[in-house]
Amino acid sequence: MKQILLVFIGGGTGSILRYLISKSLNNATVLPLGTLVVNVLGSLLIGFILGLGYRQQMLSANGMLLLATGFCGGFTTFSAFSYENHIFLKAGDFMSVGIYTISSLVLGIAATFAGLYASRFI
């Protein structure tokens, strides 16, 4: 139960921060700058957090749940996507990087369009 609460608190905090950043930056330009900033910052944060946890052993498993799974998961899912591609690249698995990246983009965009289309019937 403690782990679920940690993910919940981190996820809620990340989601609120994502909302505030996106709200303040997305209207500034034609490009959704807030979303871009959140995705890039989330990728930087998850790398830093996982680096502290796994390489430096400075974070406990609970700390990683709160920050990486909870906060970065709520802040953006792009951070997890970036880290997973890092793992593929580090292993030299370029085929998986290509397939995963293209599939994520194509399926993500297609799902967005499908959701928008389906919402017309409600």
Report the SS3 class of residue 102.
helix
- 73 is annotated as contributing to ligand binding: yes
- Is 76 known to sit in a ligand binding site? yes
| CA distance between the termini of the chain | 36
Query: Rounded distance, CA 39 to CA 26, Å?
Result: 13
- Binding-site residues sit at 73, 76
- Binding-site residues for Na(+) sit at 73, 76
